[in-house]
Structure formats: structure tokens, C-alpha cells
Amino acid sequence: MGFLTNFFNKFFKNLFGKKSHLKLGLYGPPNGGKSTLANRICKDWLGEELSTVSNIPHETREIQVKEQVNIKNKKGKEISFSLVDTPGIATKIDYEDFIKKGMKAKTAKKRAKEATKGVIESIRWLDDMDAVSVVLDATQDPYSQVNITIVGNLAARNIPVLIVANKMDLKKAKMDKVKAAFPQYKVVGVSAKYDKNINDFYEHLFKLVG
């Protein structure tokens, strides 16, 4: 039933032209660099950051939305979208992991509870997205089931996907492995933190939704 609804939604969208204002979601596992990329995009085009970032997983525990982000490419073409930075999707959350990172038990338990709600929220927002960048840490195993489940669900909903292999500034980053894991998708390697190859990311974004 969901498949039919999606099919007709996409059919009518194509029939009456593309939506003028899109929702671009940043999805992925925790600590892949979604918020760092969101901040990079907002800084580049709006001059301000969107989210706080940290090395401790599940820093983003609520959906963050920045309305009306307008980006231009070299040819002067412009796209406008709402940027949606989502909490990282995980299958397990243990407050003791936060304690190991130096948090007090009470804070760690609170963070774990919020993180579980964040994962649920991310999943529920999937249907609202017009396009998604799946942001992966290129130093980590790309074959994790969370990555496969996210990409599979986007495919089932006919949502265009761009895979972003982030943290390419690190020696352990393996772009080839990410490409091999998702052969049917465009993969762009970036370092959101150090502003490497971000223009290439924007060009891919234009091809995805422009």
C-alpha cells in the first residue's frame, strides 16, 4: 500500500513539475559527520551554523531544520531547499558508553533516552524527504546493516539518494570500499570539517535534485 502511495505521489509530482522547495535530509549512523556537513552548507550559503557537533555519539538528538537554503552552481542555476539534519540512526544505545566518555551517570542516562527518541524521530521523518544525503564515516565499515537499511528504505520510497563518504582527510578513509558497498548510487568523498571537495558535493546535489 505504501509503495502505491509513493508511486502515485512521485507520478503526480513529475506530471505537474518538480517541487519548487525541497526537503533535503542528512541521514546516517551516529558520528558520520551529518551536523558538520549541515554546518558547512549553512556557513557557505547563509553565513551561520545550524547544529552543535562533538566527538561523543548522539550529539544531535532532535531534528534540526534550516529553511530556505539557496545554493548556486557555476552555471548560475539555483536550488532552494530546507536542510534537515537528523539524529544518527542506531540499533543500540547504551548509557554506559556515554559514561566511558566521561559523563556522569544521570547525564548519560538522559542522553541515552533522548538519543532513542531521536532515532525514532529520524525514521518517522523519512517519508517527508524529497532527497537524502546519506553521510557515512569513510573510515568505518560501510556494510553495516544500519546503512543498508537506511538506503534500502529510501529506495523503497523512491527518494533520490547521494552517498557522502565523509572524513576523507583521515588516512584510514576508504572511498573504494564505500563505492563497492553502494554500486548503484553516486558517492562523493568529502571532508566536511576541513572543507575538502565540498564543491563536488554541491555539483552532485544539483544533479540529484536540480
Partner 1 sequence: MVTFQFIPYHEIERLTSAKRVNKLLNIVKQNKIVLLEGRLKKEEETDLIEITMEEIGNKFKGIELSVIYPEKDQFSGFRRMKQGFVNVLLGDRQGMTIIGPASVVKKIEQNPNKIELFTKEVRKSSKRKKR
Q: How crowded is residue 155: how many other Cβ atoms within 10 Å of its Cβ?
A: 13
Distance between CA atoms of 93 and 109, rounded to whole angstroms?
Answer: 10
Positions 64 through 103 that interact with partner 1 (CB under 8 A): 89-94
Joined together, the cell numbers standing for residue 103 give 559523563
| Of 29-37, 70-78, 149-157, 166-174: span binding partner 1 (CB under 8 A) | 149-157
**What Cα–Cα distance (Å) separates residue 99 from each residue in 56, 59, 112, 151, 167?**
11, 14, 11, 31, 25
Residue 52 sits in the site that holds partner 1 (CB under 8 A):
no
Stretch that binds partner 1, among 54-62, 63-71, 151-159, 165-173 (CB under 8 A): 151-159
Which listed range, 13-21, 37-45, 48-56, 138-146, lies at the site for partner 1 (CB under 8 A)? 138-146
Contact 133, 205 (CB under 8 A): yes
Nearest residue (CB) to partner 1, 157 versus 193: 157
Nearest-approach distance from CB 158 to partner 1, in angstroms: 12
Element housing 186 (H / E): strand 186-189
Q: Decide: is 131 part of the binding site for partner 1 (CB under 8 A).
A: no
Instruction: Judge whether 51 and 64 are in contact, CB under 8 Å.
Output: yes
Of residues 90 and 161, the one with the C-beta less far from partner 1:
90
**2 makes contact with partner 1 (CB under 8 A):** yes
Site for partner 1 contains 145 (CB under 8 A):
yes
Pick between residue 152 and residue 195 the one whose CB is nearest to partner 1: 152
d(CA 1, CA 8): 11
Strand order in the sheet with 22-27: 64-72, 78-85, 22-27, 131-137, 161-166, 186-189
Q: By rule CB under 8 A, what string of x and - marks binding of each residue 170-189 to partner 1?
A: ----------x---------
**Binding test (CB under 8 A) with partner 1, winner from 43, 120, 128, 176:** 120
120 CA to centre of own chain:
15
List residues near partner 1 by CB under 8 A.
2, 89-94, 112, 116-117, 119-120, 123-124, 126, 141, 143-146, 148-149, 152-153, 155-156, 180
